[in-house]
Structure 1
Amino acid sequence: MRRFVDCFRSLDEIPQGYGPTAVTIGNFDGVHRGHARVIRTVVAEAHSDGLKAVAISFDPHPALVHRPDVPHFPIMGLRDSLDLLDELGLDALVLLPYSLDFAQETPEDFVRTTFVEGLGAKKVVIGADVRFGRNNSGDLDTMKQLGEEHGFEVAVVEDLSTDNDLTELDAKDEHRRCSSTWIRELLASGDVDSAAHLLGRYHRMRGKVVHGAARGRELGFPTANMASDSDGLIPADGVYAGWLHDEAGQRWPVAISVGSNPTFEGVSRQVEAHVMGRPHEEVEDFDLYGQNVILEFVAHLRSMVAYEGMDALIRQMTKDVDDAWRALGYEPE
C-alpha cells in the first residue's frame, strides 16, 4: 500500500499553509540511482529539521511539449515511478501540469509561487547542473540567490558519474553522469545489464497479457504477450532472460522475445515471454491471459534473426531457454 499522504497534481491542490518542506525538482524518468541519491538527501534533510519531504515533477514530460514531433516514451510508467519514490520515503509528490505557457514562467516567479508560497520550502536540494524557468535561465547561482531572498537553504548533491560510483561502466564520454538519456541509449542497444546498474534494479515493463497468434504454443514454447499499451520502454529487438511477476506475487523465470519475429511475415513488433517454470520443474497449463504483470529484463541473449524452416527455429528456441536459465544462475537439465 502506497504511503503517500499528499499527492498533488497542481498548485491549486496544495492546501494553504502546507509545509514547511524540504523540496527537490526533476523529471525522475526511470527513478535511477542518481535520482535516488537526491531523494534520499531530501528525506534526510527533512527528517533532521522536522520538515515534509517533497519532490516536484511535471506531467506531461517537458520533451513532449517542446518537441511534439519527436517520439518520447518514458523509461517506466507513472505507477512504478510513484512506487519507487514512495519506497525512498517521500511525503508528497507534486506533479505540475506542463505547457508552453508554464515554460514561460521566470525562475523568480516559479520559485516564489511553487517553492515558497505553495510548499513553504525551508530547504531545496538540487544538482549542481540544475536549470529551471524560462529558457532554462535559472541555475544553481540563481537558486542560491532566491534562497537568500526567500529564506530557504540550498543543498547541492554530487552527481553519480564515471568519475566516482560508475567507474566500471564504459561510456562514450570520459566524464558521464547517471542520466535517463544514458539509460535510454543502453536500452536502445539491448544492454539491459548496464541499464540495470544505472537504475539500481532490472529494467521493467508493466502491462496486461493479451492473446497473440499462438505460434509459440504450436511450437512448444507458449508465450505471454504484452499489450501494446504496456508501460515501460521497450529495449532493442532480441531475446532476453528475465523474470515475470504475476498478479499473485509469484516470480517466474522467462525467456523474452522482443521484435517482429522475422521468421514470420506481417508480424508487428511485440514483447512476449515464455514462462520456463521454476528451476528444474515442469510448468503445467499456465494461464496469464488478462493479468497485469511485470516483466524484468536481466540479460541480453542474442539479436533477432530469421530462420529457414521450423526445425531450425525450434532448435534455436530450445537453446534460448537453456541460455536464459544460465543467465538467471541455473544450469539447464
Structure 2
Amino acid sequence: MKILYWKNIEKAYRKRHKTRVSKKIQEIRDFFNKPTALSIGAFDGPHLGHEKLFDTVLAEKKDGFLAGLVSFIQSPKMRSKKNFQGEISSLRLRTSFFEEKNFDFIILIDFSPKFSRMEGKLFLSILFFVSKTKFLAIGPDFRCGFQGRTGLKEIASLVKEKGIHLEVLDEFLVSGLGARSTKIREAVYVGDFETAQILLGRAYIFDLVSARKGKKIGLKKNVWQISAGKTSQVLPPEGSYRVKAHFADGSFLFASCIREAHFLRLELHEDSTENVVAISFGYR
C-alpha cells in the first residue's frame, strides 16, 4: 500500500499544467495512472461501520480501479482535547489494518490550521483531480471543509458535475447499536471492552511500540511501560487487566496489564526475547 501525503497532493494540483516537475510530483502522476475508488473519513479506529465503506470501495478493484482512503495523520479532535478521550487506534495500527484489507493507497492529511480553513469544494476538487476519482463512498453524516460546511447536498452536486459515482451508505447497526467511533471510545474509556469489541468486530488493541522496556527504566526485564502522555490512544480506567501481548512475528502471550493515573504497564508471565508491539483488551 502506498502512503501519500496531502501536502504533496496539493503541490501536484498546483503543478498540473507544468511539464517539468519534481521527482515526487512525477511519482504521484505516475501512480494515479487509472481511475480510483475512494472513501474519506477520520477512521481513527476502523470498526464494523467502516468495514461496509471499505468493502464498497474495494469491490471496485474488480473493474480495474485503484482503491484508496483519505484520512488524517491524527484525529482532528485531538487538537481540541475537550471531551475527547483519545484515538481508538494509532496511525501505525491503522495503516497496517488498511494494508491488510488490500487498499492500494492512503492519503494522509495533517489537520493544520491552514487545512482547517479550506473550503470543502476546493478540497474535494483537488483530491478528485489528482487522484482521478471516479467512485466515492461515504457515510450518511459525512461533512468536510471549513466548519463542516460541505455536506451531502453539496457533495452530490459536485460529483455529478465531475462524473463521479457516489454511494452514501446507511448507518451500520450492530446488536441494535450504531457502529460509531464515539461509542467505541466511550466504551474503552469506562472499561466496557465487550461493547467496544462488538462494534469494532475485534478486540481493542493498544499500540506499545513506543513503550520503554523494563531494565531501561529500573523494572524487571519482562515489563513494558508507557506514559499516559506519550500515547494518542484512549486508555481504560485505572485497574488491572488480563491481556494478550502481541509480538511482531504474529505470536502472542497472555499477560497482566496495570493502568495507573500516569502510565500503563505490561508484565509478561514468562520470558521472551521478542519485543511486545501491542496488547489487546477484552479478547474472546
Residue type at the aligned position of 1:275: L
1:68-107 → structure 2 map (5 Å cutoff): 73-107=86-120
Residue type at the aligned position of 1:271: L
Does residue 237 of the first structure (1) align with residue 252 of the second (2)? Answer: no
Does residue 166 of the first structure (1) align with residue 158 of the second (2)? Answer: no
Residue 291 of structure 1: aligned partner? 275
Cα distance in 1 for residues equivalent to 2:232 and 2:72: 18
Q: In the superposition, relative to structure 1, how do residues 274 and 48 fare at CA in structure 2: closer, same or farther (>3 Å)?
A: same
TM-score (normalizing by structure 1): 0.70
The count of residues paired between Structure 1 and Structure 2 equals 259
Q: Aligned-pair distance for 1:71?
A: 6.2
1:147-162 → structure 2 map (5 Å cutoff): 147-161=159-173
Task: Indicate if the aligned counterparts of 1:206 and 1:231 stay in contact, CA closer than 8 A.
Answer: no
TM-score (normalizing by structure 2): 0.82
Task: Indicate if the aligned counterparts of 1:31 and 1:81 stay in contact, CA closer than 8 A.
Answer: yes
Task: Indicate if the aligned counterparts of 2:224 and 2:265 stay in contact, CA closer than 8 A.
Answer: yes
Out of 21, 46, 54, the position equivalent to 1:31 is 46
Q: Aligned-pair distance for 1:68?
A: 5.9
Cα offsets for 1:98-139 (capped at 9, x unmatched): 222222222221211112x11111111011111111221111
Tell me the secondary structure at the aligned position of residue 101 of structure 1: helix
Q: In the superposition, relative to structure 1, how do residues 33 and 237 fare at CA in structure 2: closer, same or farther (>3 Å)?
A: same
Cα distance in 2 for residues equivalent to 1:35 and 1:99: 24
Task: Indicate if the aligned counterparts of 1:241 and 1:256 stay in contact, CA closer than 8 A.
Answer: yes
Residue 324 of structure 1: aligned partner? none
Does residue 141 of the first structure (1) align with residue 142 of the second (2)? Answer: no
Residue type at the aligned position of 2:53: V
Q: In the superposition, relative to structure 1, how do residues 248 and 125 fare at CA in structure 2: closer, same or farther (>3 Å)?
A: closer
Out of 104, 120, 130, the position equivalent to 2:142 is 130
Task: Indicate if the aligned counterparts of 1:225 and 1:270 stay in contact, CA closer than 8 A.
Answer: no
- Cα RMSD between the aligned structures? 2.5
Tell me the secondary structure at the aligned position of residue 258 of structure 2: strand
Cα distance in 2 for residues equivalent to 1:194 and 1:155: 28
1:297-316 → structure 2 map (5 Å cutoff): 297-298=281-282
Q: Aligned-pair distance for 1:248?
A: 4.6
Q: In the superposition, relative to structure 1, how do residues 70 and 133 fare at CA in structure 2: closer, same or farther (>3 Å)?
A: same
Residue 58 of structure 1: aligned partner? 72
**Most deviating of 52-61 and 86-95:** 52-61
Q: Aligned-pair distance for 1:59?
A: 2.7
Q: In the superposition, relative to structure 1, how do residues 132 and 247 fare at CA in structure 2: closer, same or farther (>3 Å)?
A: closer
Cα distance in 2 for residues equivalent to 1:157 and 1:89: 21
Q: In the superposition, relative to structure 1, how do residues 40 and 255 fare at CA in structure 2: closer, same or farther (>3 Å)?
A: same
Does residue 275 of the first structure (1) align with residue 261 of the second (2)? Answer: no
Tell me the secondary structure at the aligned position of residue 27 of structure 1: coil
**Structure 1: any 5+ residue segments left out of the alignment?**
168-175, 261-268, 277-282, 300-327, 329-333
Cα distance in 2 for residues equivalent to 1:273 and 1:242: 9
Residue type at the aligned position of 2:137: V
Residue 126 of structure 2: aligned partner? 113
Larger Rg: 1
**Structure 2: any 5+ residue segments left out of the alignment?**
12-23
Tell me the secondary structure at the aligned position of residue 166 of structure 2: strand
Cα distance in 1 for residues equivalent to 2:207 and 2:152: 36
Residue 9 of structure 1: aligned partner? 5
Cα distance in 2 for residues equivalent to 1:27 and 1:234: 19
Task: Indicate if the aligned counterparts of 1:147 and 1:154 stay in contact, CA closer than 8 A.
Answer: yes
Residue type at the aligned position of 2:200: L
Task: Indicate if the aligned counterparts of 2:85 and 2:234 stay in contact, CA closer than 8 A.
Answer: no
Percent identity over the alignment?
Answer: 24
Structure 1: which 4+ aligned runs deviate by more than 4 Å?
68-72
